[in-house]
């Protein structure tokens, strides 16, 4: 699931921080992408918040405030470089930028937010490198924020650009060496393994257990959790909880309940079901036949205060796509015919 | 809203003891734990129901530490859950995180005691152990904070649900967006418009300073608006449950009463 706007459920939304409006011109050019029209809606909806008085602490986060600061001081603020947004104009240009901004000083926020950043944009776009290529390949940019955020790279031009490249080169060479070493090691170990195991044609993995008779390891799910093998209906036999889908028996309540459900869903045999019931009803076979063939079941039996009454959950997995359902039942058992039988089944 | 008449309205859930819901998040910090607590609290207060909030996270959530304020009396304790049980300030049973917890087992243990169950699954939506609950028809409450990127991840979670359980899964899914800051930075209208026809409910939970604060949460400090929003989620869960009972009836006709 990517966070691209390809999701079918709903479009991405844009975050708005404080009174700074999102530029409108971007929305005009953004017909290619979904999120951008949505920004228009959001802008319209948030119009009232734009009219709110500017909070003192929120102003720091607007793009233009630092420029005004520079205007009053007349020289670069030493604190300014630590702020992300003021970096939109590099320190050397600060005085000039301040002069440019002057005519707009009295303009409302939304006008000042639209002052073109021509030189910056051009220098950013005309510079080579992967990032700018990607930037050009992407049709519209949703907001000017990324440009201003990337701007700090502008003042430290060639030297800075070259230095990381060189470091990257060193690093990549190191990694090539490491990678080569790993590759050699892998080849050698693979060769060793094949020579050692090649002589025996035995399969490496034991055969998977069948789904109805789950092997004993699955009673400790934590150790087998990584395997794709079924967590579905791993048998559990505890005093307070019996889970499984095996053939059961006649010697206890939970056993006969398992036998009952097994006869119903696995054997699909109305007669076998009836034999497990004290008072079998009619048409059992027709009920069974109504269940899609291939339905898997899983029985969970929990004791109740009444030793003959059991709280039973039958989880069902229906064949085509594994749609599942659950039947919640109270099942009453009673001793009969030299064993235990089902006396009553109620929906719970 | 007639909040002049009643500060706290009752959730429209016919049989709270049949409610089994999981609270899941597409991302961390999405308020899954507080939503789980909130739903249990609103159900307890609004319907006077017996309810359990269960920590079903993979790696040890803090539900018990956050909202379990009193020891549970021994008559109500479930042996298997032993020391992990407590009671919240509103009287909801709280079950903390345990090693190798089988969510379905905990659910059935508590269901047998006629407790409504609300599981805080956190981000473990895709965990195998959660599947039995979803497969058994537990309602799903998908939570996200009202921020752009987490909302996109919530969409990923919803997409995953649809891809795994089919589109029907949305009909028993409620989306709850929690506002974790006093003012919203996103406009949720497009999301609400897109999801409302698909899911069982779309609810915004307003910012509540008492939830934002670390430490134990006491329901008496919650705002009425917050509890109302959770009650809206419960209403949606009630609608899901009502739909389920119809389906159950249909099932019974189809497959007979035996099994």
Q: Token pair for residue A86?
A: 């003021």
- Domain for residue B13, yes or no? no
- The answer to which of B84-88, B138-142, B245-249 has the lowest mean pLDDT is B245-249
Alpha carbon distance A289, A274 (integer Å): 15
* Chain B nearest-CA residue for A7: B155
pTM: 0.46
Side-chain half-sphere exposure of B154, counting CA atoms within 13 A: 32
pLDDT tens digit string along A122-172? 444 444 445 544 544 454 444 444 444 444 444 444 444 444 444 554 555
Measured at the CA of A165, the angle between CA A164 and CA A168, to 5 degrees, comes to 85
Query: Which residue is listed with tokens 């953004």?
Result: A30
Q: Which among B137, B147, B190 is the nearest to A10, CB-wise?
A: B190
- By DSSP bridging, strand B93-95 and strand B173-178 are unpaired
- Domain for residue B78, yes or no? yes
Banded pLDDT at A190 (limits 50, 70, 90): low
Range of the domain at B26: 18-210+220-255
Q: Token pair for residue A130?
A: 């992967």
Chain-chain contact of B195 with A38 (C-beta, under 8 angstroms): no
Q: Which among B136, B148, B155 is the nearest to A315, CB-wise?
A: B136
Q: What is the domain count for chain B?
A: 1
pLDDT tens digit string along B13-54? 888 888 999 999 998 889 999 999 999 999 998 888 899 999
CATH number of domain containing B48? 3.40.50.300
pLDDT tens digit string along A37-72? 443 334 444 445 555 555 555 545 444 444 444 444
Query: Which residue is listed with tokens 């956190």?
Result: B122
Per the CB < 8 A criterion, the answer to whether B17 and B114 are in contact is yes
Measured at the CA of B257, the angle between CA B252 and CA B259, to 5 degrees, comes to 95
Q: Outline where DSSP puts E strands in chain B.
A: 20-25, 51-55, 70-71, 85-87, 93-95, 116-122, 139-145, 173-178, 201-205
Q: Name which of A328, A310, A324, A297 is nearest B245 in CA terms.
A: A328
Q: Which among B137, B148, B159 is the nearest to A14, CB-wise?
A: B148
Alpha carbon distance B196, A241 (integer Å): 40
Q: Give all domains of chain A, ordered by start, each with its CATH number.
A: 246-347 (3.10.450.50)
Q: Name which of A317, A286, A300 is nearest A235 in CA terms.
A: A300
The DSSP code for A277 is B
Q: Which residues lie across from A309 on neighbouring strands?
A: A332
Chain B contact probe: residue of A10, A22, A39, A325 with most B CBs at under 10 A? A10
Residues of B in contact with A295 (CB under 8 A): none
* Chain B nearest-CA residue for A345: B258
């Amino acid at each position: 699931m990517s966070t691209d706007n390809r999701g079918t459920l709903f479009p991405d939304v844009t975050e708005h921080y404080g009174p700074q409006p999102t530029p409108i011109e971007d929305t005009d050019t953004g017909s290619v992408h979904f999120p951008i029209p949505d920004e228009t809606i959001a802008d319209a909806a948030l119009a009232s918040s734009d009219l709110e008085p500017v909070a003192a602490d929120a102003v720091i986060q607007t793009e233009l405030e630092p420029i005004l600061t520079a205007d009053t001081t007349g020289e670069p603020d030493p604190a300014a470089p630590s702020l992300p947004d003021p970096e939109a104009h590099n320190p050397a240009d600060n005085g000039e930028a301040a002069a440019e901004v002057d005519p707009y000083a009295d303009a409302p926020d939304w006008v000042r937010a639209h002052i073109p950043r021509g030189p910056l944009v051009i220098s950013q776009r005309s510079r080579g490198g992967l990032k700018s290529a990607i930037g050009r390949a992407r049709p519209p940019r949703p907001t000017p924020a990324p440009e201003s955020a990337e701007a700090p790279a502008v003042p430290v031009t060639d030297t800075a650009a070259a230095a990381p490249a060189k470091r990257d080169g060193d690093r990549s060479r190191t990694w090539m060496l490491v990678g080569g070493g790993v590759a050699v090691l892998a080849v050698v170990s693979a060769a060793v393994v094949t020579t050692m195991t090649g002589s025996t044609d035995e399969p490496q993995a034991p055969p998977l257990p069948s789904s109805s008779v789950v092997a004993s390891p699955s009673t400790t799910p934590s150790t087998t959790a990584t395997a794709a093998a079924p967590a579905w209906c791993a048998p559990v036999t505890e005093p307070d909880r019996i889970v499984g889908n095996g053939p059961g028996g006649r010697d206890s309540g939970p056993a006969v309940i398992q036998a009952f459900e097994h006869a119903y869903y696995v054997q699909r045999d109305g007669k076998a079901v009836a034999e497990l019931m004290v008072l079998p009803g009619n048409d059992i076979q027709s009920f069974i036949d109504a269940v899609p063939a291939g339905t898997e079941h899983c029985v969970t039996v929990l004791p109740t205060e009444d030793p003959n009454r059991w709280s039973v959950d039958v989880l069902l997995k229906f064949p085509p796509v594994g749609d599942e359902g659950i039947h919640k039942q109270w099942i009453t058992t009673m001793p009969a015919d030299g064993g235990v039988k089902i006396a009553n089944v109620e929906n719970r | 809203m007639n909040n002049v008449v009643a500060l706290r309205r009752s959730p429209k859930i016919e049989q709270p003891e049949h409610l089994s819901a999981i609270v899941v998040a597409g991302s961390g910090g999405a308020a899954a734990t507080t939503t789980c607590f909130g739903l249990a609290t609103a159900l307890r207060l609004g319907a006077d129901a017996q309810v359990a909030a269960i920590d079903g996270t993979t790696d040890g959530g803090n539900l018990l530490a956050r909202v379990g304020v009193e020891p549970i009396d021994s008559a109500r304790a479930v042996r298997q859950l032993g020391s992990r049980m407590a009671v919240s300030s509103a009287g909801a049973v709280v079950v903390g995180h345990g090693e190798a917890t089988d969510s379905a087992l905990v659910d059935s243990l508590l269901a047998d005691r006629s407790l409504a169950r609300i599981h805080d699954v956190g981000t473990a939506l895709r965990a195998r152990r959660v599947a039995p609950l979803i497969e058994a028809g537990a309602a799903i409450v998908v939570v996200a904070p009202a921020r752009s990127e987490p909302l996109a991840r919530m969409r990923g979670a919803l997409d995953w649900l649809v891809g795994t359980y089919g589109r029907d899964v949305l009909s028993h899914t409620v989306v709850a967006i929690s506002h974790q800051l006093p003012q919203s930075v996103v406009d949720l209208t497009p999301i609400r418009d897109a999801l409302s026809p698909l899911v069982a409910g779309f609810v915004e939970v307003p910012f509540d300073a008492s939830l934002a604060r670390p430490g134990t949460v006491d329901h008496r400090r919650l705002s009425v608006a917050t509890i109302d929003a959770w009650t809206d989620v419960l209403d949606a869960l009630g609608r899901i449950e009502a739909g389920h009972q119809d389906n159950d009836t249909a099932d019974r006709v189809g497959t007979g009463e035996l099994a």
